[in-house]
Amino acid sequence: MKMNTMVIDVSTKNDEPEYESFGNAVTAAASDQRTEKAESDTALLSGATIIGAQMTDDALSLELDNGDVLRFCANGGVVEWTITDKGETDHLPQSATPVLQLSFSPDASIHSWERQRIVADRLNKKVKRISAAKAWAFLGVEGCETLMFMRLVMAKEGTNLLFYDRE
């Protein structure tokens, strides 16, 4: 786990394809397998309560009260999610990731990213929906704004950072 409060230079990548119109973008997403998977996983997890979370720079694991763990991670440029059985292990340890200061290139604008708070706001709330674009992923939680996941690249390290914030 990265314990870092200094400013991190990050850049976005063109992971998500672009379309000329809203309709084209929706058509492409509607026929994508990720959308189908998201629908079936939504049916599986909808109504489960998030009872714990673990954060790393490239992944976010959410412990659910139905015994599953929903894990989002940046696999290359694509945000993927998996559902695994927590098994007999104890609850996931609470992460203590500090607030990160992200400097987005090219304009170097610095933004505070309170990922710990973002996750904490969703604890003890029910999962509503998982949805996906070509590279980005989304998590709807009851009473909260939809969380959007995307891959950022940390300029210095050249490694991925799983970035998530409201839409």
Partner 1 sequence: MLSLTEDTGNEGWQTLLANLCAKHKRHAEVLSIKAEERRPSRINAAIAQLLEQIIKGGLGKLCNLISRMVDSCDILSAFIGMLRSAFACIRDSACASSKLCDIIEGFLKTFFPVVLALAARLLLGKLLDRIKSIICKVRCIVEKIVKEALDLVITALYKAFGQPAPNSAPPGECGNSCPPGKPCPDRKKKPTDKPPVKKDSNCGARCQKKGAPKPGNCFAAETLIHTLSGPQPIQTLRIGQRVVTFLPHERRGDAPVEPTLAEWAAHRLVTATLWFEDGEFINVQLLRDPDWFRMHQPEVDKAIYLDLPEMGVQGEGIVDAIEPCPPIESGEGRIITAAFHHSTGECLDIHTTGQEKATSTTGGHPFWRLESEDRNLNQSPPYFSQQFESNEFLDSEGNWQLSPEFMVATLLETANCGLSGQWVPSEDLRINDRLQTLAGAAAILSVSESKRIQTVFNIEVEGDHVYRVGESGVLVHNASVPGEDFDDEYDSFDDAIGEIPPNFARCIEKLRSNNLGAIARGFTERWIGLNSDDEWWSAFHNPTTGKFAGAHRSSRND
Where do contacts with partner 1 occur on this chain (CB under 8 A)?
A: 12, 14, 16-30, 35, 38-39, 102, 104, 109, 111-114, 117, 121, 128-129, 131-134, 136, 138, 140, 143, 145-146, 148, 150, 152, 163, 165-167
Q: Is residue 165 packed enough to be buried (19+ CB in 10 Å), middle (13-18) or exposed (0-12)?
A: middle
Q: Which residue's CB is nearer to partner 1, number 146 or number 159?
A: 146
Q: Which residue's CB is nearer to partner 1, number 77 or number 86?
A: 77
The least CB distance from residue 100 to partner 1, in Å, is 11
Amino acid at 118: I
Q: Which residue's CB is nearer to partner 1, number 1 or number 26?
A: 26
The least CB distance from residue 8 to partner 1, in Å, is 13
Whole-angstrom Cα distance, residue 137 to residue 63? 18
Q: Which residue's CB is nearer to partner 1, number 54 or number 149?
A: 149
Whole-angstrom Cα distance, residue 98 to residue 3? 7
The least CB distance from residue 68 to partner 1, in Å, is 21
User: Phi/psi at 101 (nearest 5 deg)?
Assistant: -100, 110
The least CB distance from residue 84 to partner 1, in Å, is 23
The helix (run of H) or strand (run of E) holding residue 24 is helix 22-30
The least CB distance from residue 45 to partner 1, in Å, is 14
- Whether omega for the bond prior to residue 93 falls within 30 degrees of 0, making it cis, is no
Inter-CA distances, 79 with 34, 87, 94, Å: 11, 24, 22
Q: Which residue's CB is nearer to partner 1, number 12 or number 84?
A: 12
Whole-angstrom Cα distance, residue 70 to residue 3? 23
